[in-house]
Chains A and B, each alone.
Chain A
Amino acid sequence: MTSETTPKSLRTIPREKAFYFFTSIGNYTGLSASSLKDFLEKINQVNIKSLEFHLNRGDFEKWLNEVLEDKKLAEQLGRLQRSNLSGDILRSQLYEIVSRHYKELTTRAAFSM
């Protein structure tokens, strides 16, 4: 897989552009994600409060749009935000959406090699 064929959202980004998981204003959990794959893994590790906090603020959507430049996934998470889910249901839904999208991207990238 070359950098030309790799979708932008599959690349690893520098630490200053990573997503940092907080549970509330100024309270950093110590977990961060530097790629979509990393983000997917962290969804299952991070405190549920953090997922609720960021989803309600639209932070995931913003990061996906502005940093990973993945408009499609950003839109999907925007819809998830509007569904007002919380707790473990939110975690599983979020994981499913990101996981499905990640598989699509990796499959497409593999075929374009």
Chain B
Amino acid sequence: MKLKNNTIALDATDYKILEALREDARQTYTDIGEQLGIAHSTVYDRIKRMEQYGIIKQYTTIVDAEKAGAKKITAIMTIYTEPKESEKVAEKLCKAPEILEVYTSLSEELQIIAKITAENQESLHTFIANSIAPLPGVLRIRTSILTKKFKENAFSIVSDPKKITFIKETRNIERRETV
């Protein structure tokens, strides 16, 4: 972990700590230290620093809604928008509790991709018809209701030290080529 111009550069140990937390955020500093062969105080320092710099944003709980008895449906919406209005539309979507995730994407047309949850198909449709379609700048909407989940994982962190070494080596090679 290096600090430069008030920004933080993570090293292989930081990535390993993040990966360990991603697997189980309730592990103790000692558990993580033992896994990685480093002192628990090192783990503590690095985690605190990553929290301080917003790299670790929060510790949360992933709930299996189905097992919890919540019979909700989830859908992915592609919202085509006028370019000038896309940010405003995305910001408004972010405020709705029904919307779980919001992204923008640039393909042939400017799109907003959002993940939405609802009690059932009817309430999904009502929400889209009453709250999203009327937003200024919305051109059209495509919605796909998700039927079966095969995999769900948070953002994967490079945990393999070989891969990190490879990245560093690649950077070195690039540097040599540009000189």
Contact surface of A with B, Cβ cutoff 8 Å: 15-16, 18, 20, 22, 25-30, 32
Residue from B130, B139, B143 with most neighbouring chain A CB atoms (10 Å): B143
When C-beta atoms are compared, the residue in chain B nearest to A19 turns out to be B129
In Å, the complex CA distance between A20 and B142 comes to: 14
Note all chain B residues with C-beta closer than 8 A to A28: 128-129, 132-133, 138, 140-141
25 example contacts (A-B, Cβ-Cβ < 8 A) are as follows A15-B134, A15-B136, A16-B130, A18-B134, A22-B125, A22-B128, A22-B133, A25-B124, A25-B145, A26-B75, A26-B77, A26-B125, A26-B141, A26-B142, A26-B143, A27-B143, A28-B132, A28-B133, A28-B138, A28-B140, A28-B141, A30-B139, A30-B140, A32-B133, A32-B134
Q: Within 8 Å of chain A (Cβ to Cβ): is B121?
A: yes
In Å, the complex CA distance between A26 and B145 comes to: 9
CB under 8 Å from chain A, chain B span 11-45: none
A59 to chain B, nearest CB (A): 9
Interface contact B141-A27, CB-CB below 8 Å: yes
CB under 8 Å from chain A, chain B span 59-86: 75, 77, 80
User: How many chain B residues touch the partner (CB < 8 A)?
Assistant: 20
Note all chain B residues with C-beta closer than 8 A to A30: 80, 139-140
Interface contact B143-A16, CB-CB below 8 Å: no
Interface contact B129-A20, CB-CB below 8 Å: yes
A16 to chain B, nearest CB (A): 5
Contact surface of B with A, Cβ cutoff 8 Å: 75, 77, 80, 121, 124-125, 128-130, 132-134, 136, 138-143, 145
Residue from B75, B124, B134 with most neighbouring chain A CB atoms (10 Å): B134
When C-beta atoms are compared, the residue in chain A nearest to B118 turns out to be A26
Note all chain B residues with C-beta closer than 8 A to A25: 121, 124-125, 143, 145
In Å, the complex CA distance between A16 and B134 comes to: 5
When C-beta atoms are compared, the residue in chain A nearest to B80 turns out to be A30
Interface contact B143-A20, CB-CB below 8 Å: no
When C-beta atoms are compared, the residue in chain A nearest to B131 turns out to be A16
When C-beta atoms are compared, the residue in chain B nearest to A21 turns out to be B133
In Å, the complex CA distance between A28 and B134 comes to: 10
Note all chain A residues with C-beta closer than 8 A to B132: 28
In Å, the complex CA distance between A77 and B8 comes to: 65
Note all chain B residues with C-beta closer than 8 A to A22: 125, 128-129, 133
In Å, the complex CA distance between A20 and B143 comes to: 15
Note all chain A residues with C-beta closer than 8 A to B77: 26
A35 to chain B, nearest CB (A): 15
